[in-house]
Structures are given as C-alpha cells and as structure tokens.
Amino acid sequence: MFRCARIQGLDTSEGLILFGKEHCYVVDGFTLLKNREIRDIDSMPVGHYEPIIPNPSGTSSNRSQSLRQCSKFAYEDIREVHKRRYLLQPIALEIFSGDGRNYLLSFQRKVRNKVYQRVMALGTSIADNAQSSV
C-alpha cells in the first residue's frame, strides 16, 4: 500500500494504491499516516496532512468527495508500465491496461521506483516489445 495522486487532465486526486493477490486498486480520498493508519483526507485536521502534489487553488472538500473514484486492475490485464515525469519531477508512473484504460499516478520521490518494481513483478502480461504494445 502506497500513497499516490491520480492525474486526469488538469485534475488530481490523492489516494492510495493497494496491491492485492490478483488485482491492483487505486482508491481516491484516503491517505496513509506514518503509523500505517488509513484516514479519510477530508477528515484530517489542518496542518496534519501534507499533500503529494501541492494544490494552490485550495479545492473544497465537497468537490473532492464528488470526484472520488476506485479503480481495479487485474495483474494479467496490465500491458505496460512506464516511468514518467510530472511537474518536471521524476515522480510518476503511467499504467496501461489491456482494455484501453491508462492511469498517470504520481508518488513521493523515493516511492516511485518501489511501486514500479512491484507492478513489474506482479504484471503477468506486460509487453516486452513494441509489436505487442497497446
């Protein structure tokens, strides 16, 4: 389980990426504290939560609740995983699924490589060459 931010166009949603036995889940609106406790981001007191991606516009909690999503990827459906840059920082991964979905996920600086290794180890259908690319 790792903290992440899902980037979709100009919108970002912080949440968690969870690795299960057969699926990988991306859940918006929750965070992982240092004591490994899972908390709702909107219920966190001001000053006790540092976002992965700073949000200068200060979106309201009502807006973040309406945009929450939960996505599930089966490991055999993951076709490609690429290391990406976000905000000119090497902190993101892009995950492509066989059904056409793709997610750009941003992480804390030292977490991206750990998540990349985990996805590469668990993904059973990751394309090795351009011929079988999505």
Count CB atoms within 10 A of the CB of residue 90.
11
Q: Is the pLDDT of residue 13 over 80?
A: yes
The residue count for the chain = 134
81 or 134: whose pLDDT is higher?
81
Provide the pLDDT confidence category of residue 66 given band limits of 50, 70 and 90.
low
pTM for this entry: 0.85
Burial class (CB in 10 A: 0-12, 13-18, 19+), 14: buried
Q: Are 52 and 106 in contact (CB under 8 A)?
A: yes
What is the rounded distance in angstroms from the CA atom of residue 108 to the CA atom of residue 54?
Answer: 12
Q: Is the pLDDT of residue 114 over 60?
A: yes
DSSP letter (8 states) at residue 116 = H
Q: Are 23 and 11 in contact (CB under 8 A)?
A: no
What is the rounded distance in angstroms from the CA atom of residue 74 to the CA atom of residue 84?
Answer: 22
Residue 16 phi, psi dihedral angles, 5° rounding: -130, 150
Token pair of 92 as six digits: 């993101």
For 113, the 3-state DSSP assignment is helix
